[in-house]
Chain A
Amino acid sequence: MQNNKKLILALAAIAAAILVMVGIYRSFGPQTSAGSKSYTLEVMDDLEEVKNYSGTTDAEVLKDLLDELAAQGDFSYEAEDGEYGTYILSVNGVTADYSQDGAYWAIYVNGEYGQYGADSQPVEDGDAFRLVYEK
């Protein structure tokens, strides 16, 4: 009986912890907004050749924007879902293989190094994104 009480308390504590975590995520997590937003995207490949894209989008996160661009045909990318979000493997046919030579595709947002994966990075009106091949 005493054990059951303890376990019920423990389960309740875990449920409460989950609720607190949901609250923290909703209050302080990546914020998104719907609607038509303008953006620019610069892709710098391994040879430091630059390709620019711009337009408007309703995408809420960068991954959706990249999917929209890919559907338009002049842009392609490959990514995989990892433990902590989408990880970009290749852009416009240029693959960055970290395990081979430490190369990766970095995301920059308005000049700052991106804090989120492509599936969590919010898209705001006027955002300037950069995808840069780095080693």
Chain B
Amino acid sequence: MTGDRQPVTVRDVAVLGMMTALLEASKRLLDNLPNVELITFLLIMFTLFYGRRVIAAALAFTLLEIAWWGVHVWVIMYLYVWPVLILITDRLHRGLRERGETPTPLPFALLAAVFGLLFGAMCSIPYLFIGGPVMMITWWIAGIPYDILHGVSNFLICLVLFKPVHKALRRSAALFVIAF
């Protein structure tokens, strides 16, 4: 399922398009709740089944967000934070597979929690270049309450939804196999 060598097919594009649509719909759904989001969870789940090519869906999602909201500083952040999450998830998943283990909710809920807690720190990097280290650190510290909310909500969402969504994706992945 994760060869990464085969050429991209029309079916791949269609599946990645569906992923992007789900990411965007979930973002709109929870837009009113600051830093409570399903993107982290969905990207982790997609990566478990479709590997690193999910980065294409994450980038398409970022493009849609730009089309909707315009170009802001967070665009730069989105361009690297989501791919980083996908690469770490893929590495963790490969590690589990090498040991013959199947994915269980808790390790990925922990990953989602850490990602949420570090989200502000990761997103503060552009401010290093905009206003220097003081601005970067000030910006990160001011957002810490949001980061804690982000980490805790990511953990709970992943813990609760992992099993049912994993089951649903396992079924659909059998129908929509993409060339990995």
Q: Which residues of A contact B (CB under 8 A)?
A: 7, 10-11, 14, 17-18, 21-22, 24-25, 28-30, 81-85, 98-100, 115-117, 120
What is the bound-complex CA distance between A29 and B146, given in angstroms?
13
Q: Which residues of B contact A (CB under 8 A)?
A: 34-35, 69-70, 72, 74, 106-107, 110, 113-114, 117, 120, 135, 138-139, 141-148, 151-152, 155
For residue A18, which residue of chain B has the nearest CB?
Answer: B148
Task: Please list 6 pairs of residues, one from A and one from B, whose beta carbons are closer than 8 Å in the complex, sorted by A's number.
Answer: A18-B117, A21-B148, A28-B141, A81-B34, A83-B74, A115-B138
B135-A84 in contact (CB<8A): no
A99-B117 in contact (CB<8A): no
A21-B144 in contact (CB<8A): yes
What is the bound-complex CA distance between A102 and B150, given in angstroms?
28
Contact of A98 (CB < 8 Å), options: B70, B113, B139 = B70
Contact of B144 (CB < 8 Å), options: A7, A25, A100, A117 = A25
What is the bound-complex CA distance between A85 and B35, given in angstroms?
10
Contacts of A18 in B (CB 8 A): 117, 148, 151-152
Contact of B141 (CB < 8 Å), options: A24, A81, A117 = A24
For residue A23, which residue of chain B has the nearest CB?
Answer: B144
What is the bound-complex CA distance between A115 and B130, given in angstroms?
12
What is the bound-complex CA distance between A98 and B74, given in angstroms?
13
What is the bound-complex CA distance between A98 and B152, given in angstroms?
31
For residue B72, which residue of chain A has the nearest CB?
Answer: A98
CB B152 to nearest CB in A, in angstroms, measures: 8
Given A14-B117, A98-B70, do A82 and B148 touch, yes or no (CB 8 Å)?
Answer: no
Given A83-B35, A99-B69, do A30 and B142 touch, yes or no (CB 8 Å)?
Answer: yes
Contacts of A24 in B (CB 8 A): 141, 144
Contacts of A10 in B (CB 8 A): 110
B34-A29 in contact (CB<8A): no
What is the bound-complex CA distance between A99 and B147, given in angstroms?
26
CB B151 to nearest CB in A, in angstroms, measures: 7
CB A128 to nearest CB in B, in angstroms, measures: 20
Given A21-B117, A21-B148, A99-B69, do A11 and B110 touch, yes or no (CB 8 Å)?
Answer: yes
CB A39 to nearest CB in B, in angstroms, measures: 20
CB B37 to nearest CB in A, in angstroms, measures: 9
CB A33 to nearest CB in B, in angstroms, measures: 17
A29-B144 in contact (CB<8A): yes
Q: Give the interface centre of A10, A24, A84, A98 by most chain B CB atoms within 10 Å.
A: A84
Contacts of B138 in A (CB 8 A): 115
Contacts of B141 in A (CB 8 A): 24-25, 28-29
